[in-house]
Amino acid sequence: MGEKMVKRAYRYRFYPTVSQAQQLARTFGCVRYVFNRALAERSRAWTQEQRRVTYVDTAKALTTWKQDPETEWLGEVSNVPLQQTLRHLQTAYVNFWQKRAKHPTFKKKGKSLDSATYMTNAFSYRDGQIKLAKQDERLRIAWSRPLPEGAQPISVTVSRNSRGQHHISILVEEAISPLPPASVQVGIDAGITSLVTLSTGEKIANPRHERKDRAALALAQRRLARKQKGSANRAKARAKVAKIYGRIADRRRDHLHKLSTRIIRENQTVVIEDLSVRNMMRNHSLARAISDASWSELRRQLEYKADWYGREVIAIDRFYPSSKTCSACGAIAEKLSLNVREWSCRCGVRHDRDVNAARTILAAGLAVAACGDGVRPPRS
């Protein structure tokens, strides 16, 4: 197989000057305003007139808003991020209509991620430096890794998280070579005590990132609850809570990337379960542990990396009795409580619950891959 051209985003942290931070804050505010106003107009048109407002309609309305004396401040920032947020709104509606997502919601200051997308006509990239429209200075980017040689950015998205950190995501088109074919297949059983159990018998421990910072997080949240709303001390306390949450998310993301890359590199075919994490979160006893494990993110990473490197990910039906099915003879146990970690089949084989489930998942995935019965397609 030859090289495959893919669009890939490289994310870096950058440190804006005071003037750049102020200009970006105005841009984020304008983007949020345009998104919310366009969403309100589209919702009003549908509920009152049964009329669908298109992207073209909102783009024309944006021109009118910029000419209105009350909102002429929209002209103080680059027009490209404002147009792009209208495109993002259109995409959100398409996903809603095709039942891939819920109805778009309004962006709230302080609760939604501040971001703005610039296309090639709104930024310059020269000598490894990026300068955004409406700014005189180049961004001070911490280049933790270089962009691919000869790559030209297609777009850049700047963002500011709840910790006040600024990041830039640079989208480039890159040629990726498939990995050499492997003769190994693996089944994966997701869990809580072990993050994943492989059909080879290996268990990957769950780092429990949230538990490590649980005491510090609880203390920071109690201090936040005691602060007066609207005060400067409350803003500082909220920043401390956000810092702890951010640290947890960073560690979790890093661990999942390393794990998913290793699995894709070592195996030609990966078989997983099509878990309904949203429904499983309704179990309040396990919701925190399930959320911390982040199985959905692991599956997402496995699927797009498999697509990049010429591997295959198969998702079997979520209702398949993988834990109760004997991987040796195929018999199904009548009852198997969640607290039973080892069990014996009537054929005489004694199973580790998780290892047996992973082996059964692998067998089921390989068996039905040819006909497609019981296989769920990638969510992308």
Query: What is the distance between the terminal CA atoms of the chain, rounded to a whole angstrom?
Result: 23
Distance separating alpha carbons of residues 195 and 262, to the nearest angstrom: 14
Rounded CA-CA distance 155/42 in Å is 27
Burial of 280 (0-12, 13-18, 19+ CB in 10 A): middle
Contact 88, 35 (CB under 8 A): yes
3-state DSSP call for residue 158? strand
Measure CA 253 to chain center: 9
Query: Active-site residue among 210, 292, 303, 354?
Result: 354
List 189, 210, 292, 303, catalytic entry: 189
- Least Cα distance to 109 among 167, 25, 39, 40 occurs for 25
Closest CA to 311 of 271, 262, 366, 268: 268
- The answer to whether 354 is a known catalytic residue is yes
Q: Given 114, 210, 273, 292, which residue is catalytic?
A: 273
Instruction: Tell me the HSE value of 14 on the side-chain side, using a 13 A CA sphere.
Output: 27
From the centroid of its chain, how far is CA 86? 21
d(CA 95, CA 99): 6
Q: What are the residue numbers of the active site?
A: 189, 273, 354
